[in-house]
Amino acid sequence: MSFLQRPDGVRLFFESHGDPAAPTILLSHGFSATSRMWIPQVEALSRDHHLILWDLRGHGRSSYPEDPALYGHDLCVEDMAALLDEHGVEQAIVGGLSLGGFLSLAFHAAHPGRVAALLIVDTGPGYKSEQARAAWNERAEATARDLETNGLAALRSRSAEMAAEQHRSAEGLVHAARRMLTQHDDRVIRSLPTISAPSLIVVGADDQPFLAASAYMAGKIPRAGHVVIADAGHAVNLDQPEAFNREVVDFLARLP
């Protein structure tokens, strides 16, 4: 197992697959999932690429800091930059599912020159409306309270990338729900028209809450492709791994 020590004391679990000299893909998982959610993609995506997977703060095999201040979008974005630095990678294909996709968009907003392409899966770009943002944050707080009350058992009723995951405790997820799942401004959604990197937006046809968001992003990002995969929900890469891998590999093959 490999770990990256961050200056604030957090240790990040990561693993890499494929040829380090090949173009790099950095994939981030969703809230309360871990890097294990990408297992069905490892063989397909590491065949011609260098694939880096990692566990976010408060998740999986990474640290679970007790201080809530050690959780947040900006910290995760800099964790992603540090992982690329650790591998000597200046520019990568950056992607993720749900929270991981949002963080990938935030990474582009902060470090556009380091993004060769974007892979955004079952993701929303945040909200321009303060009212909509507040409603989302209320749901995030309800998730935090559920985890406080029921511990990791709260994940059993959630979608596939969450339900079977392995965490050491629920405490990190509680902090992550309040500090990483929540939305604080509209920087990411307003950055969409500035994205010049080739982008692929993928969503499961049954992932009703994210269908409109995916179509919105595809319309706002200038060079975005948009794929809706049938018979798949929020964990499209797990529900339909062969179809998902086929679309992503085709997208990667078309990159300059």
Give the mean pLDDT of 163-182.
91
Token match 């058992």: residue?
153
How many residues appear in the chain? Answer: 256
First to last CA, the chain: 33
pLDDT band at 218 (very low <50, low <70, confident <90, very high): very high
Q: Give the pLDDT of residue 213.
A: 98
Say whether pLDDT at 252 is over 80. Answer: yes
Question: Residue 165: pLDDT above 80?
Answer: no
pLDDT above 70 for 14 = yes
Instruction: Set out the domains of the chain in order of their start, with CATH numbers.
Output: 2-253 (3.40.50.1820)
Predicted model pTM: 0.97
pLDDT digits (tens, 9 = 90+) for 48-100: 999 999 999 999 999 999 999 999 999 999 999 999 999 999 999 999 999 99
pLDDT at 164: 62
SS3 state of residue 13: strand
Distance CA 205, CA 222 (A): 23
Cβ atoms of 177 and 98 closer than 8 Å: no
Cα dihedral 194, 199, 205, 208 in deg (nearest 10): -30
Report helix, strand or coil for 8. Answer: coil
